Chains A and B, each alone.
Chain A
Amino acid sequence: MTAEPNVAPAAAVLAKPAKRQRGPLWFAWRRFLANRAAVVGGSVLGIITLMAIFAPWITPAGPTAQAFLTDALAFPSAQHWMGVDDLGRDFFTRIVYGARVSLTIGFSAALFSVVIGIPLGAAAGFFGGRTDWVIMRVIEIFSVVPPLLAAMLLGALTGGGFWMIVAIAALFGWVQVCLLVRAQIKAFKEKEFVRAAQALGASPAYVIRVHLIPNSVSPIIIGFVLAIPLAMMLEASLSFLGVGVPPPTPSWGQMINNGMNFMYFYWHLAVFPTVALAVTVLATSLFGDGLRDALDPTMKAR
């Protein structure tokens, strides 16, 4: 609509709201900001991420440097904010680098989950029929096998290791993404614009890539964000049992396991990794839940 200078006032009134029109993302952002728990969770996660990125600048020593052997097992002090561990390593350093391990594993596992989940979910939702049946049966198997148990078994068989944990977490993380994408694509594939594209001769791959995936951005973001805390929990649990990330790589799960042996006398070795893990997983979950509520259009009605 071209706005000419001498049109009737009614047209001018009509043109005005067009200026103020907001996209769905703007509304999602507003809904997110209204959720106090999610904002706090997001901020805490942001701070932890910054600490993890700038770890070398805020810690007195390297994560594996046994720089304070004479002070081994020292309690928290001004010099060592969280004390020193049994092997003479500054514990604050270990905790901060632990955030690095936990977050890296969380984010990469979520990324791989999305990479696996999108094509499978798209195929299941779009083609339906036999493709859908096969993919859903695979998912059914995954829903019967408890992820943590199978992950323990896989961790024990493969000996663990950083990327192995990421692979295991992704192996169990894609299911959620796949289901979310499948539902969204099933809902969209009957829409007129998709029909129109098909009538113009668009191939399934083109329709999925250009029309359906962009319309599934919300569930993909939701799946991605919800996969992060699950992967972090998985890593911590496996490392706690000794089949996850091997020492000396700092991992909170490992530190909790070690802290158990000292907890009656040197409480700091148990308290700090426990609190760090609890706070990080909680913050990430609250942030993810908030994003989901903000992005999910069905929540709009409430």
Chain B
Amino acid sequence: MTGYILRRLLSVMVTFFVVSVIIFLMMHSIPGGPFDGGDMPVPEAVRQKLNAQYGLDQPLYVQYGRYMWGVLQFDFGVPFQSPGETVLELLGRAWVPSLVLGGLGVLIGVPLGILLGMAAALKRNSWIDYLASTVATLGLTIPVFVTSMLLILVFSVWLGWLPSSGWGEPERWILPIAAYATIPMATYARYMRSAMLDTLNKPFVTVLRAKGLSERQIVFQHVMRNSSIPLVTVFLPMFIGTATGSIFVEAMFRVPGLGSYFVSSIRTRDYPLEMALMLMLTVMFCLAYLISDILYAWLNPRIRHGGKQE
């Protein structure tokens, strides 16, 4: 098990390195530099001096090395759009709304999705099964900003019950949380349903029934446990979907979180912020990847005991 974790850790680190190089190269592939000056032309000698001062005259691999050395000490530089603070401070501030809204969305969406999927599998071809399929298909196919738009149109514009944007009073949280919750709910409803159906059709369930266990015991003690592996594997795509969705949810509901800073950093070409956000997201995804791999191995004895993973 330890060897397995170490192997996965190594592979994740290699992946992170490759991704960071690619992002860095992409950032630096744009023609032009910060001191080329369109509005305020700078004399050639001054420009060279400035470039040297910021290390921009160095070869790319040296710049990459310096940047990553800074990153290892949590120095991401200063964002262009608010020079009064460091990128780290800005990120520390922007975390809060994203974490609160996204976290609540996941906390509400995952149990709802699991319950919906379970109910659908146990009562196959009933109305709740159709409801679960509809929710799963809609949630997984329609982009989040479309869902958000529909929520705003119905609850703010048409019914006028809830405010459509902002951050502050809890009533402003309801719609963004609902928009966030659609992705985990849809993902878990779909996978829980198919995992339960798979397990319910296994011979051992028939044996349990033949032995006279109650349906409740079968479902909660045996089927649930055996249906939980796909729920762990699907955590990663769900997490990525939610994190990516935050960009659109925050843009739609005008929430000052990480997602909206991501959009504004792209629109204003705020490279230090953009680079930091991309790196941070990559680390988050790598960690989620690692955790889901380890959990999967832990739940699946064939991998835990050093079997070959395919």
Asked, given contacts A141-B15, A264-B157, whether A242 binds B267 with beta carbons under 8 Å apart, the answer is yes
Is B149 a contact of A154 with CB atoms below 8 Å?
no
The A interface is mostly helix, strand or loop, or mixed, namely helix
CB < 8 Å neighbour of A263 from B143, B152, B269: B152
| A144 with B15: CB separation less than 8 A | yes
Instruction: Please pick, from B140, B252, B285, the residue contacting A144 in the complex, using a CB distance under 8 A.
Output: B285
Q: A153-B26, A237-B145, A260-B149 are in contact. Are A144 and B157 (CB under 8 A)?
A: no
Per-residue contact bits, chain A 270-297, to B (CB 8 Å; 1 contact, 0 not): 1100100110011001100100000000
Contact string against B for A residues 224-261, beta-carbon threshold 8 Å, 1 for contact and 0 otherwise:
00000100010011001111000000000100100110
A205 interface residue, CB < 8 Å from B? no
CB distance from A27 to the nearest CB of B (A): 22
Are the CB atoms of B141 and A285 closer together than 8 Å? yes
Closest chain-B Cβ to A196's Cβ sits at a distance in Å of: 27
User: What is the distance, in angstroms, from A121's C-beta to the closest C-beta of chain B?
Assistant: 16
A270 to B153, CA, bound (A): 8
Query: Across the interface, which residues of B come within 8 angstroms of A260, CB to CB?
Result: 149, 252
Q: List residues of chain A with CB within 8 A of the CB of B27.
A: 157
User: Does A267 contact B153, Cβ atoms closer than 8 Å?
Assistant: yes
Question: Quick check: A153 and B153 within 8 Å, CB to CB?
Answer: no
Kindly list chain A residues whose C-beta atoms are within 8 Å of the C-beta of B263: 241
Contact B26 A286 (CB under 8 A): no
CA distance A157 to B282 in the complex (A): 19
Beyond A149-B244, A242-B267, A270-B149, whether A281 also contacts B142 by CB under 8 A is yes
Contact of B282 among A145, A236, A277, A281 (CB under 8 A): A145
A278 to B248, alpha carbons, bound, how many Å?
15
Contact check: which of A149, A233, A259 meets B143 at CB < 8 Å?
A233
A253 to B85, CA, bound (A): 34
Please pick, from A141, A148, A274, the residue contacting B19 in the complex, using a CB distance under 8 A: A141
Closest A residue to B12 by beta carbon equals A144
**Residues 7-58 of A contacting B (Cβ, < 8 Å):** 37
A134 at the interface (CB under 8 A from B): no
Select one of B142, B157, B240, B274 contacting A146, CB under 8 A: B240
Interface size class of A (residues with CB under 8 A): 35 or more
Which chain B residues lie closer than 8 Å to A263 at the CB level? 152-153, 157
Contacting pair B157 A240 (CB below 8 A): no
Given contacts A243-B266, A285-B137, contact A146 B153 (CB under 8 A): no
Closest to B252 in A: A260
- Whether a CB of chain A sits under 8 angstroms from the CB of B213 is no
- A236 cross-chain contacts in B, Cβ below 8 A: 143, 146
**CB-CB < 8 A to A144: which residues of B?**
15, 19, 282, 285-286, 289
- B residues within 8 A CB of A65? none
Q: Across the interface, which residues of B come within 8 angstroms of A274, CB to CB?
A: 146, 149-150, 153
Docked-complex contact B251 and A241, CB < 8 angstroms: yes
Among residues of A, the one whose C-beta sits closest to the C-beta of B286 is A144
- Say yes or no for B295: interface residue by CB 8 A criterion: no
CA distance A264 to B289 in the complex (A): 42
A143 CA to B237 CA, complexed, in Å? 9
**Complex: how many Å from CA A18 to CA B13?**
59
Are the CB atoms of B153 and A149 closer together than 8 Å?
A: no
Q: Give the residues from 103 to 137 in chain A that come closer than 8 angstroms, CB to CB, to chain B.
A: none
Given contacts A149-B281, A260-B149, contact A286 B15 (CB under 8 A): no
Is B29 an interface residue, CB under 8 A from the partner?
Answer: yes
Q: How far is the CB of B7 from chain A (nearest CB, A)?
A: 13
- A157: chain B residues at CB < 8 Å are 26-27, 29-30
Q: Is B138 an interface residue (CB 8 A)?
A: yes
Contact residue among A229, A256, A282 (Cβ-Cβ distance under 8 Å from B149): A256
Question: Which residues of B from 32 to 76 have beta carbons under 8 Å from A?
Answer: none
Q: Counting chain B CB atoms within 10 Å of each CB, which of A145, A229, A253, A264 scores highest? A: A145
**In the assembled complex, how far is the CB of residue A267 from the closest CB belonging to chain B, in whole angstroms?**
6
Alpha-carbon gap, A274 to B252, bound state (A):
13
CB of B18 within 8 Å of the partner chain: yes
A149 surroundings in chain B (CB, below 8 A): 244, 247, 262, 278, 281
The reply on B243 being an interface residue by CB < 8 A is yes
Verify A277–B26 contact, CB threshold 8 A: no
Whether A256 contacts B145 in the complex (CB less than 8 A), given A144-B282, A146-B285, comes out as yes
Cβ contacts B144-180/A at 8 Å (1 or 0 each) = 0110011011000100000000000000000000000
Which residues of A lie under 8 Å from residue B266 when comparing CB positions?
A: 152-153, 156, 241, 243
Known: A236-B143, A237-B143, A289-B137. 18 other contacts (CB 8 A): A141-B18, A141-B19, A144-B282, A144-B289, A146-B240, A148-B244, A149-B278, A149-B281, A153-B274, A154-B26, A156-B269, A240-B145, A241-B251, A263-B152, A263-B153, A264-B157, A277-B143, A285-B137
- Shortest 8 CB-CB distances between A and B: which pairs? A285-B141, A156-B266, A148-B244, A274-B149, A146-B240, A146-B244, A278-B142, A233-B143
Q: List 26 A-B contacts (CB under 8 A).
A: A140-B11, A141-B15, A144-B286, A144-B289, A145-B282, A145-B285, A149-B278, A153-B23, A153-B266, A157-B26, A240-B145, A240-B251, A241-B266, A242-B267, A256-B145, A259-B149, A260-B149, A263-B152, A267-B157, A271-B153, A274-B149, A274-B153, A277-B142, A282-B141, A285-B137, A285-B141
